[in-house]
């Protein structure tokens, strides 16, 4: 459909399987994994569709585009249920885009599928395995969408959001006549070779003039002869969303081969386009744009992989880094740079204040100290303060040891003091970090960036964008949005905002179905049936045990999760048998028929049961090892 511009370099694509001319096979037995801690959904790679995934994620994180598409109802687009009816007019591409965006917003799965969307493009399985150019896809997808929306209220969606105008002018030096030609653009293609950055490239394109003189004169229609002239171009109309394609792939006419330009090429997070526009009398805010998406190409000119950096304008994702979730550890490590490192009282109080109920086993306290601060009690404090347990005893006004001295807790007043100390140290640490990193304060209210690489979504810091200025993994397409565009407060952190009711119902029903499937899958994979044969219900006859009553009544069935411990299994069995023991006590009285105390009967029974369970669990483990290739047992 787009031509074989590139072939996918499969070695650089993760979490995918490939087959020549075949569709990607996925596990049908297990439901898709739920979203990870970012709370954002990726898109599965169908074999060579990383370029498509990157562009679709950019469109999805363009809320104005997404909401304009959502505003088109079934009365205008039709319904996917009617697409096979001969007389029905169904606009399949926008309908599939709507559905995909709803899944990315609301469906609790790690990655969405584009299979239905690519089917609406008319792609074959071979087409899905080929790597194409994302800039060309952008143009063709928008063209197909415009064609599909003809006759609807969204007929001008692409033109309204993405189309701009460039005017080329030639000025005659003799008669001053101006000849101009206006052109529409969907994206601006700018040079990379011999240019240090985006602003320099735009300056060369829209500020500097090309002069016609000497052997390269211009024929003026008014003068009707060859004259000196000057040619220039200016941006006449700016769209709300500006797409810029970097011309990284060139052709070496000496070597007769293509190559990728990997030199350093900078681009700003915010750019003012006023110097490059024909009309500049408006306020600067009319010309200011913010970067919100960077599509990145990794590899060479004959193969590679695309992923995208995206700014979360609506705060839909959880940007918090996993290693930054535990802020108390930062406070404790901050002690290493303070005089408090010589005072073990403050450190131990801080550790205990973070524990539930301010309580911890003494044996674990020393380990916690080492884990959280990197300081060993024996190496740092034992020589001066003695053993840890003795130190806790000497400070009984702060620490409360249990009667057996196995656990320690903070006294109530000391706990409050420790919390205030931790809070104070946290505030000091925050101010120190803020002074070292300008702009950190208030960053929680700013949109954050994510690296979306097919199914994988990870938070990144804004400074990481500079890593894509140069090299084999570098920026290929830039997407800017007008700084004036503001989002409504109700859209913030609200993935259901503006989603049509029929799609909300569909996604809610799909989430319920996913939960049921995951529960069933978890039960099938991790639960097993345990059959308990009760001794009192059997008698020994002719060298074998025979049930006194029916086989069904003499066996108890117990479902158990194999991820739990043997102790949990014993506890479950004892709970099941508790009622049986009560009945047995009533029948046997205080002593058994053999004269043994009931407690002795019960203890011996539990001892035999524990030994039996150990043997049984070992047997289960061996059976599981044998049956791994089968997948169930």
Query: Based on the number of CB atoms within 10 Å of its own CB, is 217 exposed (0-12), middle (13-18) or buried (19 or more)?
Result: middle
Contacts 24+ apart (CB under 8 A), 118-121: 118/46, 118/49, 118/52, 120/92, 120/93, 120/95, 120/96, 121/1, 121/93
Neighbour count for residue 189 (Cβ, 10 Å): 14
Annotated active-site residue in 50, 172, 220, 277 = 50
Question: Residue 110: helix, strand or coil by DSSP?
Answer: coil
Q: What is the pLDDT of residue 269?
A: 96
Contacts of 279 (CB under 8 A, 6+ apart): 236
Active site residue 307: no
Q: Where are the beta strands (DSSP E) in 71-163?
A: 111-112
This prediction has a pTM of 0.68
Give the residue ranges of DSSP H helices in 244-374.
Answer: 327-334, 344-353, 362-373
Query: How far is 199 from 195, CA to CA, in rounded Å?
Result: 9
Query: How far is 120 from 117, CA to CA, in rounded Å?
Result: 5
Q: What is the pLDDT of residue 406?
A: 76
- Helix 63-70, helix 92-106: angle, nearest 10: 120
Query: How far is 526 from 632, CA to CA, in rounded Å?
Result: 9
Under DSSP, the state recorded for 25 is P
User: Which sign, positive or negative, has the C-alpha torsion 625, 627, 629, 632?
Assistant: negative
Element (H, E) at 458: strand 456-460
Ramachandran quadrant class, 542 (left: phi over 0; alpha: psi -120 to 50; beta: rest): left
Query: Based on the number of CB atoms within 10 Å of its own CB, is 169 exposed (0-12), middle (13-18) or buried (19 or more)?
Result: middle
**In Å, what is the CA distance from 502 to each residue of 114, 192, 559?**
20, 46, 40
pLDDT tens-digit profile of 552-579? 666 777 787 777 776 777 777 777 666 6
User: For residues 307 and 452, is the Cβ–Cβ distance under 8 A?
Assistant: yes
pLDDT tens-digit profile of 52-104? 999 999 999 999 999 999 999 999 999 988 888 887 788 999 999 999 999 99
Query: How far is 285 from 496, CA to CA, in rounded Å?
Result: 31
Q: What is the pLDDT of residue 587?
A: 53
Q: For the chain, report the end-to-end CA distance as a whole number of angstroms.
A: 47
Question: Residue 462: helix, strand or coil by DSSP?
Answer: helix
**Average pLDDT of the segment spanning 502-513:** 95
Contacts of 409 (CB under 8 A, 6+ apart): 352, 357, 358, 359, 360, 399, 400
Neighbour count for residue 5 (Cβ, 10 Å): 17
Under DSSP, the state recorded for 614 is H
pLDDT tens-digit profile of 322-363? 544 444 444 544 554 445 556 788 888 888 887 767 778 877
pLDDT tens-digit profile of 216-273? 888 898 898 899 999 999 999 999 999 999 999 888 888 888 889 999 999 999 999 9
Query: Based on the number of CB atoms within 10 Å of its own CB, is 265 exposed (0-12), middle (13-18) or buried (19 or more)?
Result: buried
Lowest mean pLDDT among 119-133, 261-275, 617-631: 617-631
User: Which sign, positive or negative, has the C-alpha torsion 247, 252, 256, 258?
Assistant: negative
Query: Based on the number of CB atoms within 10 Å of its own CB, is 437 exposed (0-12), middle (13-18) or buried (19 or more)?
Result: exposed
Evaluate if residue 14 carries a pLDDT over 50: no
Phi, then psi, of 300 in degrees rounded to 5: -105, -165
- Average pLDDT over the chain, rounded to an integer: 79
Cα 410 to chain center, whole Å?
Answer: 40
Active site residue 446: no
Annotated active-site residue in 132, 163, 305, 307 = 305
* String of DSSP letters for 204-248: HHHTSPEEE-TTS-EEETTTTEEE-EEEEEEEEE--SEEEEEEE-
* String of DSSP letters for 140-201: HHHHHHHHHTTTSTTTTHHHHHH-EEEEEEEEETTT--EEEEEEEESSEEEE-TT--BHHHH
Lowest mean pLDDT among 169-173, 395-399, 500-504: 395-399
Under DSSP, the state recorded for 490 is G
Ramachandran quadrant class, 21 (left: phi over 0; alpha: psi -120 to 50; beta: rest): left
Element (H, E) at 406: none
Query: How far is 163 from 169, CA to CA, in rounded Å?
Result: 20
Evaluate if residue 613 carries a pLDDT over 70: no
Question: Residue 8: helix, strand or coil by DSSP?
Answer: strand
Pairing relationship of beta strands 399-401 and 111-112 according to DSSP bridges = unpaired
Q: What is the pLDDT of residue 330?
A: 40
Q: What is the pLDDT of residue 621?
A: 56
Contacts of 231 (CB under 8 A, 6+ apart): 168, 169, 170, 171, 209, 210, 211, 212, 218
Query: How far is 551 from 229, CA to CA, in rounded Å?
Result: 105
């Amino acid at each position: 459909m787009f031509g074989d511009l590139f072939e996918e370099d499969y070695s650089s694509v993760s979490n995918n399987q490939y087959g020549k001319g075949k569709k990607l096979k996925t596990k049908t037995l297990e439901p898709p994994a739920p979203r990870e801690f970012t709370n954002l959904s990726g898109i599965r790679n169908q074999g060579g569709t990383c370029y498509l995934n990157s562009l679709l994620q950019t469109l999805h994180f363009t809320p104005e585009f997404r909401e304009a598409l959502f505003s088109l109802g079934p009365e205008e687009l039709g319904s996917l249920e009617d697409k096979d009816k001969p007389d029905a007019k169904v606009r399949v591409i926008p309908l599939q885009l709507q559905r995909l965006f709803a899944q990315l917003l609301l469906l609790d799965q790690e990655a969405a599928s584009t299979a239905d969307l690519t089917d609406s493009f008319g792609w074959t399985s071979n087409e899905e395995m080929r790597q194409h150019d994302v800039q060309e896809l952008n143009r063709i997808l928008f063209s197909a969408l415009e064609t599909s929306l003809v006759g609807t209220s969204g007929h001008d969606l692409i033109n309204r959001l993405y189309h701009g105008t460039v005017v080329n002018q030639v000025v005659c030096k003799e008669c001053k006549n101006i000849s101009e030609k206006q052109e529409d653009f969907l994206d601006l293609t700018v040079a990379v070779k011999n240019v240090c950055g985006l602003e320099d490239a735009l300056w060369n394109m829209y500020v500097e003039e090309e002069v016609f003189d000497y052997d390269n004169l211009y024929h003026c229609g008014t003068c009707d002869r060859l004259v000196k002239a000057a040619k220039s171009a200016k941006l006449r109309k700016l769209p709300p969303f500006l797409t810029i394609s970097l011309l990284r792939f060139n052709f070496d006419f000496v070597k007769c081969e293509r190559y990728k330009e990997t030199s350093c090429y900078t681009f700003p997070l915010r750019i003012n386009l006023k110097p490059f526009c024909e009309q500049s009398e408006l306020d600067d805010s009319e010309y200011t744009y913010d970067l919100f998406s960077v599509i990145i190409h990794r590899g060479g000119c004959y193969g590679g992989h695309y992923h995208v950096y995206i700014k979360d304008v609506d705060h839909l994702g959880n940007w918090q880094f996993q290693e930054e979730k535990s802020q108390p550890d930062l406070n404790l490590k901050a002690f290493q740079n303070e005089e408090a490192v010589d005072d073990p009282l403050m450190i131990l109080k801080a550790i205990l204040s973070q524990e539930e109920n301010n309580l911890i086993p003494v044996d674990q306290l020393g380990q916690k100290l080492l884990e959280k601060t990197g300081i060993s009690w024996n190496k740092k404090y034992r020589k001066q303060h003695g053993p840890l347990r003795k130190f806790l005893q000497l400070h009984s006004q702060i620490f409360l040891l249990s009667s057996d001295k196995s656990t320690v807790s903070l006294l109530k007043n000391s706990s409050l003091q420790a919390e205030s100390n931790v809070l104070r140290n946290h505030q000091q640490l925050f101010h120190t970090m803020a002074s070292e990193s300008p702009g950190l304060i208030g960053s929680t209210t700013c949109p954050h960036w994510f690296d979306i690489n097919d199914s994988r979504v990870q938070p990144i810091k804004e400074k990481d964008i500079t890593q894509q200025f140069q090299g084999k993994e570098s920026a290929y397409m830039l997407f800017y949005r007008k700084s004036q565009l503001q989002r409504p407060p109700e859209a913030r952190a609200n993935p259901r905002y503006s989603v049509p009711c029929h799609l909300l119902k569909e996604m809610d029903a799909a989430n319920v179905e996913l939960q049921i499937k995951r529960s069933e899958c978890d039960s099938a994979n991790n639960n097993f049936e345990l059959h308990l044969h009760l001794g009192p219900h059997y008698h020994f006859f002719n060298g074998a045990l025979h049930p006194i009553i029916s086989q069904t009544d003499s066996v108890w069935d117990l479902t158990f999760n194999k991820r739990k411990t043997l102790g949990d299994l014993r506890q479950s069995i004892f709970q099941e048998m508790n009622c049986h023991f009560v009945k047995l006590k009533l029948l046997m009285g205080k002593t058994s028929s053999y004269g043994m105390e009931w407690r002795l009967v019960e203890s011996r029974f539990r001892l035999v049961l524990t030994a039996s369970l150990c043997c049984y669990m070992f047997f289960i483990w061996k059976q599981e090892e044998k049956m791994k290739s089968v997948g169930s047992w």
